[in-house]
């Protein structure tokens, strides 16, 4: 005889995918993400709108001796700007050779470059403990009183970061940034320059989602900077930037795009000062990179074009990304 089998108790059916997005996610305020460092608050707009535009010819060759240690040789020929009293920009054609040594370890990074005129650029980044990092950089010259050095101590907490900065010429600075919600981070900084008898305080805010980043920064030196970056797709992002100095009544606005493709990266921008720039970085081959840059300034009728070949030879491993060498 057939018996009716009562339906076994089963778990309730899983909610359909349509109903899930309707509920707002519960925010755990004790578990907020760690914000990005205060000095990198404008990072996305900076990367898109301010590529390293140069003038002249540069050839770079990096030779890796093992995974961590590499030597680099670089030749640069082109005009360099000389600071002048008048509003005009004075450029002097220069050429120099630069020898560099890099040591990159997970815990310590050493980066040194010495030029033919005796200038040394040194950078050190060291993880003193899991949360505390020391970063130091120095530009040393043979001329007296023209050398600079700075050391930063960064402490990273679970949802905040704080930094203490010490520099020569009695320069002291401190900054703090805190995640307030999963998308919003607020921070402030204060600095004191003993040699120039200046001090200042500033505040910044950053709101980011997966698709956009909006930042704002105000400082007592008179600077107000706002930026907005929208990620249109995986490969394309658009950025805009507004800088206003309320002391000197100077305003600059710029608009730009950033295409990150498989073999190349193309960035372009247009400015309210009448400056248009484009910057192309292409990976021609394994280890060979090519950079083309052009800038047209309508207000001063200046045109800059730059070609840069970057050749990296590593004996045992594929070359490290460009970002690693310019990251810190």
Partner 1 sequence: MASRVALKTKSKGAKGGAKPADERSAVKCLKEWSTWTVKKAKVITHYGFIPMVIIIGMSSEPKPSISQLLSPI
Nearest to 60 by CA among 71, 46, 49: 71
**Residue 99 lies near partner 1 (rule: CB under 8 A):** yes
Q: Pick left, alpha or beta for residue 160 (phi over 0 → left; psi -120 to 50 → alpha; otherwise beta).
A: beta
Shortest Cβ distance from residue 113 to partner 1 (Å)?
A: 8
25-33, 111-119, 202-210, 212-220 -> range binding partner 1 (CB under 8 A): 111-119
Size of the site for partner 1 (CB under 8 A): 27
H-state helical runs in the chain? 43-49, 322-326
80-88, 102-110, 180-188, 246-254 -> range binding partner 1 (CB under 8 A): 102-110
Q: 288-317 mask for partner 1 (x: CB under 8 A)?
A: -------------------------x-x--
CB of 113 closer than 8 Å to CB of 99: yes
DSSP string, 35-102: PPPGGGTTHHHHHHH------EEEEEEEEESSSSEEEEEEEEEEEEEE--SSSSPEEEEEEEEEEEEE
Q: Which of 57, 134, 140, 322 binds partner 1 (CB under 8 A)?
A: 140
Return the residues of window 208-247 that contact partner 1 according to CB under 8 A.
none
Shortest Cβ distance from residue 121 to partner 1 (Å)?
A: 10
User: Could you tell me the two tokens for 180?
Assistant: 């307030």
Q: Which of 78, 112, 188, 216 binds partner 1 (CB under 8 A)?
A: 112
Q: 46-85 mask for partner 1 (x: CB under 8 A)?
A: -----------------x-xx-xxxx-x------------
Cβ-based nearer residue to partner 1, 141 or 221:
141
CB of 155 closer than 8 Å to CB of 132: yes
The separation between CA 158 and the C-alpha centre of its own chain, rounded to angstroms, equals 22
What residues does 16 pair with on adjacent strands? none
Q: Which of 34, 75, 114, 150 binds partner 1 (CB under 8 A)?
A: 114
What DSSP designation does 321 have?
Answer: P
Residues that bind partner 1 (CB under 8 A): 63, 65-66, 68-71, 73, 99-103, 105, 110-112, 114, 120, 122, 138, 140, 147, 149, 168, 313, 315
């Amino acid at each position: 005889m057939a018996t009716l089998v009562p339906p076994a108790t089963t778990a309730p059916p899983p909610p359909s995918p349509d109903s899930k997005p309707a509920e707002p996610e519960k925010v755990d305020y004790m578990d907020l993400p760690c914000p990005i460092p205060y000095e990198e608050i404008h990072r996305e707009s900076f990367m898109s709108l301010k590529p390293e535009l140069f003038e002249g010819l540069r050839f770079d060759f990096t030779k890796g001796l093992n995974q961590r240690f590499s030597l680099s040789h670089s030749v640069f020929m082109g005009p360099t700007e000389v600071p002048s009293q008048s509003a005009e920009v004075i450029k002097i054609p220069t050429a120099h050779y630069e020898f560099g040594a890099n040591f990159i370890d997970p815990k310590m990074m050493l980066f040194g470059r010495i030029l033919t005129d005796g200038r040394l650029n040194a950078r050190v980044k060291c993880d003193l403990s899991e949360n505390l990092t020391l970063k130091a950089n120095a530009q040393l010259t043979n001329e007296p009183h023209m050398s600079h050095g700075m050391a930063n101590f960064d402490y990273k907490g679970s949802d905040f970061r704080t930094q203490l900065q010490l520099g020569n010429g009695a320069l002291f600075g401190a900054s703090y940034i805190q995640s307030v919600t999963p998308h919003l981070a607020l921070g402030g900084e204060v600095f004191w320059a003993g040699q120039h008898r200046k001090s200042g305080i500033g505040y910044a805010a950053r709101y980011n989602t997966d698709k956009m980043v909006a930042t704002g920064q105000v400082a007592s030196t008179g600077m107000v900077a706002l930026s907005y970056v929208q990620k249109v797709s995986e490969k394309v992002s658009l950025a805009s930037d507004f800088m206003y100095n309320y002391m000197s009544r100077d305003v600059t606005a710029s608009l730009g795009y950033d295409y990150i493709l498989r073999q190349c990266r193309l960035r372009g921008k247009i400015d309210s000062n009448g400056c248009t720039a484009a910057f192309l970085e292409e990976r021609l081959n394994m280890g060979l990179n090519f950079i083309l840059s052009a800038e047209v300034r309508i207000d001063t009728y200046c045109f800059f074009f730059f070609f840069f070949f970057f050749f990296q030879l590593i004996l045992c491993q594929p070359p490290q990304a460009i970002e690693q060498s310019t990251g810190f």
